[in-house]
Amino acid sequence: MRLQDNAGLYHALKENKSVVPVFIFDTTLLDKLEDKADRRVEFIHQSLTLIQKQLIELGSSLLVFHGNPIEIFKSLQPKAVYTNHDYEPYALSRDEQVKNILTKNGVESKTFKDHVIFEKEEVTKDDGKPYTVFTPYSRKWKAKLNAFYLKSYPTKKYFSSFKKTKSLPLPSLQQLGFEEINKPFPERTIKQSIVEQYDKKRNFPAIAGTTKLSVHLRFGTVSIRKLAQVAEKKNETWLNELIWRDFYHMILWHFPKVETQAFKPAYDQIKWRNNEQEFTMWCEGKTGYPIVDAGMRELNETGFMHNRVRMIVASFLTKHLLIDWRWGEAYFAKKLLDFDLAANNGGWQWAAGSGCDAAPYFRVFNPALQTEKFDAELKYIKHWVPELGTKEYQKPIVDHKLARERVLKVYKEALG
């Protein structure tokens, strides 16, 4: 969702004299959103408004639809359609159906890699099989990286190829069935000072130690190539985070079953407790474990949660409460501004021990020790849990020692 450094757009503009940028608010996806104040729709709407402003200055316009993409493409009559690759199962199915419609109508469709640095089979073992462990994958990824893969697409050079047309209307959020919240979103800027200190500060949720660019990466309002250019020069730890993102997209592509099943099949035998009352208390940030509650409240209030805290709350749900990782994954999918199926699924399966290259099942984060390490002065916790230390604060809903013994027993039984 940007005009700069966009692979599909670059090829469309370079190869054609009259290009119309199209965006479809896909009702198949939007109709599933229960919260009509879902800020991700507002983020998309704001991003489109910015693009529309840029296009109007060029004497062009966006063409925006609201409906089922399959039906919409049946009524469009383009000469060719250019898109960028998507890797999620629903998107792959939808895009295949659209391609079939276009092919039937004699319309050429072209699709390009833009969302990641390396995709699908680009980084594999020597025998061509996909990696399922991150460290060797990252080594091969770095060995393959060169200036060609980081080079930006000079779309601006061909902006004259946008079709000259009057400004076409964008549907309002209300017309789409959603509400405006009007809270600020994370900035699109790459803050060099944060990137430079990333390896030293990224684990401390009380300080601004992370870039908060994940929502922009998710919706393509920044270029992954631009971020990787900065990361390569400034901070290898930050670069590794971008490689994890490629890794999880590669895993989802090769093993689409992970969307609903454990990557390691044995983990589907675990007898989860799935206590609904405890799940609700976890969702609401009322577990009696301050670092867990702070994280959940931050998520509910802002749509963001610090990455270290994400690991702690995911471990707590799956290990302390023995609740199926899919419950937690689905809750994050509803709440996270930067929700990305590949990364969210990868993170949850890592925490539960069921994923590829996951934390071993007997690793159970101790919330108290995590607090001592990463929020010793309780600055982060007290911001989100102001009633800490008073009678109003929830007593722990589970004992750490007993929960640890219980989960080890249940996991051991399931895994033989």
Question: Catalytic site residues?
Answer: 241, 244, 272, 307, 325, 348
Nearest CA among 329, 327, 350, 354 for reference residue 339: 329
Write out the H or E segment, with its range, that includes residue 190.
none
Nearest CA among 189, 343, 354, 141 for reference residue 265: 354
295 neighbors 351 (Cβ within 8 angstroms): no
Q: H helices within 151-288, ranges in order?
A: 192-196, 198-201, 214-218, 224-234, 236-254, 276-284
> Residue 19 carries which DSSP code?
B
What is the dihedral angle through the alpha carbons of 301, 304, 309, 315, rounded to the nearest 10 degrees? 90
Cα 27 to chain centroid, rounded: 20
d(CA 405, CA 395): 20
Distance in Å from the first CA to the final CA of the chain: 47
Write out the H or E segment, with its range, that includes residue 81.
strand 80-84
The full DSSP string for 18-71 is: SB--EEEEEHHHHTT---TT-HHHHHHHHHHHHHHHHHHHTT---EEEEE-HHH
Strands 63-67 and 22-26: parallel
Nearest CA among 74, 76, 78, 65 for reference residue 101: 74
214 neighbors 338 (Cβ within 8 angstroms): yes
